[in-house]
Amino acid sequence: MGGSNGHVSLAVSESYPLLKFIVQDCTAQISLWQKQLPEEFAGKVTYQYHDFFTAQKTKADVYFLRYIIHNWADIDAIEIIRCLTPVLKSGKRLVIMEYLGPQGKDMGEFEERTYR
């Protein structure tokens, strides 16, 4: 979710070629990315429009949020996760990959941008 052009899914797919990926994002670029997908990823990586503030309808074994939650206020982050609840059944996983670091007020603006 929020997978942009799928560069992370493509990289993981190279190491784990038996896995299948659905890259979701809420941009008009989805169809362009699908057309530009290298042939070796055909059938392994697909693209799908999805706004993560709406209920998730796509069923998967793992939902992966990479560097998404930190961009949102707590109430919005909770809503993003809450929208996954319709599909998070027993055995399904939610993986959240974020960075942990000092808060912006603990450092200068330049240092914060460099850190990120």
Residue 106 has a pLDDT of 67
Residue 3 has pLDDT above 70, yes or no: yes
pLDDT tens digits for range 27-72: 878 888 888 899 999 989 999 999 999 999 999 999 999 988 888 8
| Per-residue pLDDT tens over the stretch 75-103 | 999 999 999 999 999 999 999 998 776 66
Domain residue ranges in the chain: 7-115
| Alpha-carbon span 57 to 28, nearest angstrom | 19
Q: Please report the pLDDT score of residue 71 as a whole number.
A: 82
CB 65 within 8 A of CB 34: no
Fold entry, domain 7-115 = Rossmann fold (3.40.50)
Distance CA 75, CA 11 (A): 32
Q: Is the dihedral of CA 65, 70, 76, 79 positive or negative?
A: positive
Which residues participate in catalysis according to the annotation? 70
CA-angle at 43, arms to 35 and 64, nearest 5°: 90
